[in-house]
Copies of this chain bind each other. A is one copy, B any other.
């Protein structure tokens, strides 16, 4: 079997997220699998439709965008990577695109081998309309203290148990993660927050963001954040609000 690695862009607005669902086909994974299954009718060595599994590096929630999601799939075909990429881009809707498609060793797996990810969250800190950016930013006009937010970001960096920073139900899986860097950048009335880490729990970036914004407005102190981070019994109620999905973009997956 040949193994193909894709780098994908998508605007999440219209979709119910990455992960295929039984009841609906309105997911990015679902769209890709059906399309590649149709393609297999024409290109597979078996000459008939085969079942395709597209492994994403991770799920993105409904409404979240991607500049560099990574996914792979196995297929027996003699088509070139250029031909496959052209076919897929021809039939994908305009809000999903494959920007790179390469052949990789069969053992490569987008999720299992991901070493790190980068997400960006964009906040518009004013009431001014941003017509061209409106689908990709969160309008949050409250007064924000950049210095306090930078300090909050610094507290969150490093290796912590982030169990209070996820909406996932309790499970036996580890909730320890390492955040390498949270970078804040201010340009005019936009503040972008770039999170790089080894992996992120369900809703984790959006809850980290809500927590940082609460520090920025003064609703939460740095001392409180420090306490919650150190408390092995901290719960979801102790952390910040869940910011809207639309401001979030998966930028890159590292291997």
Residue ranges of A at the interface with B (Cβ–Cβ < 8 Å):
9-11, 65, 67, 86, 89, 92, 94-99, 127-132, 134, 136
Interface pair A95/B131, CB less than 8 Å apart: yes
Taken together as a complex, chains A and B put the C-alpha atoms of A92 and B11 apart, in Å, by 23
Q: Would B10 and A97 count as touching, CB distance under 8 A?
A: no
Judged by DSSP, the binding face of A is: loop
B89 A127 Cβ-Cβ under 8 A: yes
Collect the chain B residues with CB atoms within 8 Å of residue A10's CB.
Answer: 131
A97 vs B129: C-alpha distance when bound (angstroms): 5
A sample of 21 cross-chain residue pairs with beta-carbon separation below 8 angstroms, ordered by A number, consists of A9-B129, A9-B132, A10-B131, A11-B131, A11-B132, A65-B132, A67-B132, A86-B127, A89-B127, A89-B129, A92-B129, A94-B134, A95-B134, A96-B129, A96-B131, A97-B128, A97-B129, A97-B130, A97-B131, A98-B129, A99-B128
Q: Which residues of B contact A130 (CB under 8 A)?
A: 9, 97
Which residues of the other chain, B, contact A95 by a CB distance below 8 angstroms? 131, 134
With the chains together, A52 CA to B132 CA distance in Å? 27
In the A-B complex, the 3 residue pairs with the closest CB atoms: A97-B129, A9-B131, A97-B131
A252 CB, nearest partner CB in chain B, Å: 15
Contacts of A96 in B (CB 8 A): 129, 131
Which of A9, A11, A65 has the most C-beta atoms of chain B within 10 angstroms of its own C-beta? A9
Provide the bound-state CA to CA distance between A97 and B127, in Å.
Answer: 11
Closest B-chain residue to A94, C-beta based? B134
Complex interface: chain B residues within 8 A of A97 (CB): 128-131
- A20 and B54 CA atoms in complex are apart in Å by 48
Task: Give CA–CA (A131, B8) in the complex, Å.
Answer: 10
Measured CB to CB, the nearest residue on chain B to A96 is B131
| Alpha-carbon separation in the docked complex, A9 to B129 (Å) | 8
- A190 vs chain B, min Cβ distance (A): 13
Q: Which residue of B lies closest to A95 (CB)?
A: B131
- Report the bound CA distance from A127 to B97 in whole Å: 11
- Please name 20 further chain A to chain B contacts, defined as beta carbons within 8 Å, in addition to the given A9-B129, A94-B129, A99-B128, sorted by A numbering: A9-B130, A9-B132, A10-B131, A11-B131, A11-B132, A65-B132, A86-B127, A89-B127, A89-B129, A92-B129, A94-B131, A94-B134, A95-B134, A97-B128, A97-B129, A97-B130, A97-B131, A98-B129, A99-B129, A132-B136
